Amino acid sequence: MNQLTTTTPGRSAIAAAHADEQVFVTIYVAKQLFGIPVERVQDILIPEKIAHIPLAPTEIAGAINLRGRIVTVVDVRQCLGLKPPPAGTTPMCVTVEQGAELYSLKVDSVGAVINMPSERIERNPTTLDQRWRSISVGVIQLEEELLILLDIDSLLGFAGR
């Protein structure tokens, strides 16, 4: 990529223009909007079957088979200390990579992919619940709602406790 930037003058100007912008996949959990850096997202899916894992922590919803790989499903509601969703709702999964492992985050729904200028990211409000602050790298105030930016590494570390 550096080679393209240095050998193609038009490319370096485009790259510089987007350097101060971040891209997020948005998800909803209990009507709260969260953002995941798009470079961490491997897949978005509706799981057909989540297999129960005996003796797993409550944050672990189970496992799914994703194109021949066994993927641990992390229940984001449990990680955030929230109640289960209403009966009959269909969860979605956002698969992320941490190291060489894949994890699928079980969420209520997936929103859109959005670009945000880096300067719009603010520190976590002091009023944000401590559990939520521990897995957030900041927030962005949108027109009608607050976007909480997830720290995937902290979320996955928290889920294993």
Listed in order, strand segments (DSSP E) in 31-99 are 32-37, 41-45, 60-66, 69-75, 92-98
CATH H-level superfamily of 22-159: CheA-289, Domain 4 (2.40.50.180)
User: Mean pLDDT in the chain?
Assistant: 87
Beta strands in 67-145 (DSSP E): 69-75, 92-98, 101-107, 109-117, 136-141
Domain locations along the chain: 22-159
0.85 surpassed by pTM: no
Instruction: Grade residue 18 by pLDDT with cuts at 50, 70 and 90.
Output: low
> 55-105: per-residue pLDDT in tens?
999 999 999 999 999 999 999 999 999 999 988 889 999 999 988 899 999
Instruction: Answer with the residue of higher pLDDT: 160 or 120.
Output: 120
Residues 79 and 59 sit within 8 Å (Cβ to Cβ): yes
Q: In the structure encoding, which two tokens stand for residue 21, read together? A: 């912008």
CB 63 within 8 A of CB 56: no
For the stretch 28-39, pLDDT in tens is: 999 999 999 999
pLDDT of the residue at 12: 45
